[in-house]
Amino acid sequence: MKFIRRAQLNTLAAFLMALILSACETTGVGTGGSTQVASNPAATIKSLIERSQNAPSPEAEQLLIQAAQLLLDQGKAEEAKRLLGAVNATALDSDTLASLVLTLTDIHLALNEPLQAEELITTDRMGLLTASNDLNSDRLNEISLKRAQVWEINGNYLAAARERIFVGPMLETDAANTNQQMIWNDLIALPNDSLQALAQTVAVPEFQGWLELAWIYKGYQDQLDQQLQQLDQWQLRYPGHTAATQLPEALRLVRELSENQPQNIALLLPTQGRFRPAAEAILHGFMSAHYASLQDRENTESNISIRVYDTSDLKQFTATYQQAVADGADIIIGPLQKENLRSLLNSTDPLPVATIALNQELGPFEVPVNLYQFGLSPEDDALEVARRALQKQYHNAAVMFQNNPWWERAYLAFAEQWQQEKGRVTGIASYDDQSNMANGIKDMLLVQHSELRAKQLRNILGKNIEFQPRRRQDIDFIYLIATPDQARQIRPLLDFYYAEAIPVLAGSQIFSGKANPKTDRDLNGIEFCDIPWLLEKPDAIQQALKQAWPTADHRYSRLNAMGVDAYRLQSRLQLLTQIPDAGLFGATGNLNIGIDNRVQRELSWAVIKNGRPELLPRITETELEDRPQQTEGPDARPPKNAQATDRQETDRQPG
């Protein structure tokens, strides 16, 4: 095994010892190969490593790669990574090198190191691109699919889609169908503006057809009639397209949606009392979306009836709900008050019609059939922050929040999700009011420990010494749960206690909904998530709403957006329940419906610069010109089962 570094033999020996001890704890060792792997993987891994020590190259390296893959299957990614450190990649044959790179890529993904995985699978750092000239078609396909997977994890959906479109014709039927669905998922993750621009500029018919199809789905989601017309025209333009014979499932349902739109809509909202302003904001958004949908129809006459029922009196809610059903409601939007939602959750029978509650309850309820919960909860922000931090490859979090039930919910949701992702919460600072913010931050950063050590050193030396306090070093980022006023006080305190270099992530609570550059300069550099309605370019519905209610209080903007999405949800409910990942690209986020019938939201991200929020791109940008296209050039390869030269089977470069 001349290609295994001699200096690494001690590592292998240590592995053997650890695996022997592990095997002693495992019972039921099988006698056959596959049975043995299933019942005692430690013994199998041990055997592979032992055999590698006396095997010639490349068999020795292949045995170690197999052992690493088994370790990875057992959730031991760190051990797999150390084991493959014994392999010298520089002299391997092309196929063994490709297997090594693919396994290392999976290891980096398991360790939440997707950027390192991307570097391995898309560059020639380990010689993969050079080796591709000698690989067979199946191995090249495997590399392409892994490359696309890594790009998807890193948010480069355009590059991933392009790679999948390229490899698609070379795949067998089942793999091709799965790949086709992934192409669709990648493209609908692109922003509308990008889709529209790309569809007009890309000259490759296969790619252009996919882009146009995704634009039809996203760009016309509020106009079902026009969406159907555009879909019919697309099928005439692209009769031989891959997607023409099997449209994405979401588009196949569009015609059925158009035929089964609710005609009688009941809105259950409090028109009196303290919830009236919130209800009015939701109603304004709902009706703005409704009128916008009418304006885009060729025949503006509509048979849709929208009726508002007052739910201010909690004691009369059940009767009000039953009245809406008796009046022939096809769908009910509401209630808004949580007390009324609980009365529906306590029902032991299915609800008579589909009901989209405008709130969420996290208690131990068994959700009745036909009830959906849609709200702007602090848990949505917390889960979004956890996803963002994971994407940035952070590991250690500190959390700061005020002591109140609302913010504590956000903290608990974040902590649960973060720990599920193998992250650690290394510091917590909670405060009651402004008076103890500084002490909370100081305790969270353990600055007092540094001060104590300095005091002890002065006592030992018996003299004053120059001293610069230090904070703890095991914090990768701070999750700040605070209002704008609180954050303006907290950020300078973080800087004062030597935490100016720690990234700060926040939820929507930190933004009032209206840019305030004079007072928000102290928040510069903070990244936060919020609804697209407040961060992205205003669409036609938002512009129409502002014209209709120009003096509306901006504090209710999020509820305006909620009303818009409530309208969109009722028209697409069948689609979202039948195809959970179909997606509704709404004003309050990218929406889908979970298995518990809760509407889940993916939010937009911005960073505060010069006191103003600046939208961060949802996806990683990529160039279109850096990939030789499938239809021409030496990179082209024929579809599966077609004749091909060796040269056509190889020369592949990543996008």
Question: Tens of pLDDT along 172-227?
Answer: 989 999 999 999 999 999 988 888 899 889 889 999 999 999 999 999 988 888 89
pLDDT at 257: 82
Q: How many CA atoms lie within 13 A of 390 on its CB side?
A: 21
Report residue 580's pLDDT band, with 50, 70 and 90 as the boundaries. confident
* Cβ–Cβ < 8 Å for 305, 231: no
Among 8-17, 252-261, 445-454, 493-502, the least confident range? 8-17
Domain 378-530 annotated CATH 3.20.20.80: no
pLDDT at 388: 95
Cα(99)–Cα(163) distance, integer angstroms: 19
* DSSP code of residue 4: B
Tokens of 21: 């001890």
Does 642 score more than 60 pLDDT? no
Tokens of 227: 């969406």
Q: How many CA atoms lie within 13 A of 11 on its CB side?
A: 16
Cα 62 from chain centre: 35
* DSSP code of residue 29: -
pLDDT at 463: 54
The listed CATH number (3.40.50.2300, 1.20.120.1200, 3.40.640.10, 3.30.1330.30) that belongs to domain 264-376+550-577: 3.40.50.2300
Mean pLDDT of 373-391: 95
Tokens of 357: 């509650």
Residues of the chain with CATH 3.40.50.2300: 264-376+550-577, 378-530
Report residue 552's pLDDT band, with 50, 70 and 90 as the boundaries. confident
pLDDT at 556: 94
Q: How many CB atoms lie within 10 A of CB 337?
A: 24
Query: Which class would CATH give 190-260?
Result: mainly alpha
Strands 590-593 and 604-609: unpaired
603 Cβ contact partners less than 8 Å away, ≥ 6 residues apart: 380, 381, 384, 508, 529, 530, 531, 532, 589
Q: How many CA atoms lie within 13 A of 133 on its CB side?
A: 4
What pTM does this model have? 0.84
Higher pLDDT, residue 129 or 29: 129
pLDDT at 140: 96
Sole residue written with tokens 């009830």: 371
Sole residue written with tokens 């709902």: 286
* Cβ–Cβ < 8 Å for 342, 368: no
Q: CATH fold of 6-187, please?
A: 1.25.40
Report residue 455's pLDDT band, with 50, 70 and 90 as the boundaries. low
Cα 646 from chain centre: 40
b/e string for 92-118 if b means 16 or more Cβ within 10 A? Answer: bebebbbbbbbbbbbbbbbbbbbebbb
